[in-house]
Amino acid sequence: MKTDYLMTIIVPVYNEAENLDRVKEAFNAYFAQSPFQSKVLFVDDGSKDGSLSKIEEICANNAHFEYITFDRNYGLSTAIKAGIDQVNTPLTGYIDADLQTTPLDFDLLLNELGTNTMAVGYRAKRKDTLSKRIQSKIANFIRRSLINDGIIDTGCPLKVVRTEEAKRIPFFDGMHRFLPALILLQQGTVKQINVRHFPRIAGKSKFNIFNRSIKPLQDAFAYRWMRKRYINYRIEKVCLV
């Protein structure tokens, strides 16, 4: 029986086999209580730890789960773009497979989305290690200093965006750090909502001091360059033959 889904939730996966049973359980709990019809799209980013086998098992037994898989590891930005390219629902969600945020909070974002283009979470009470919090503070300071987009927590892995606008986002490697800023660049609007945050209890973080500070610095300069040259226009009248 066909289900009219409102949202497809992209879950990028890179070596998260230890977390995937929890991901399935968390989403099944969310689907059971949410008034919004949603489904999951796993994007396996060339995992080498058995994640793909686990994803295939989950998707074979539940119509609310789908997946695509890469031939090798391409990185988070590419995984998000590939997911967006496949989405055919009005809304696109995003969450990390580490479950440091909960699918249950998607309803907070959906209830607050209103007429906005995007709703994003921010983690007011983070449960990360001290080193990870310091790295994130450095990255957020760099981003705010260079682009000043007003986003409290651009790295929060809980987002909902209108799919039509998501498909217009200009993609580049590292763009996952700037999704709200890129929506603002398209003259969209972003609503920010406080969401829960949890410690990672399985698997390993893929982030380090390099990709939390040096890479964001490079990408912030790339965004500033693009912002100055980005084309926006509104057509007032059309007469085409």
Task: Render pLDDT for 102-123 as a digit per residue (tens, 0 to 9).
Answer: 999 999 999 999 999 999 999 8
pTM: 0.85
Q: pLDDT band at residue 1, thresholds of 50, 70 and 90?
A: very low
Q: Which residue has the tokens 């396996």?
A: 44
Write down all domains in the chain, each with its CATH number in brackets: 7-229 (3.90.550.10)
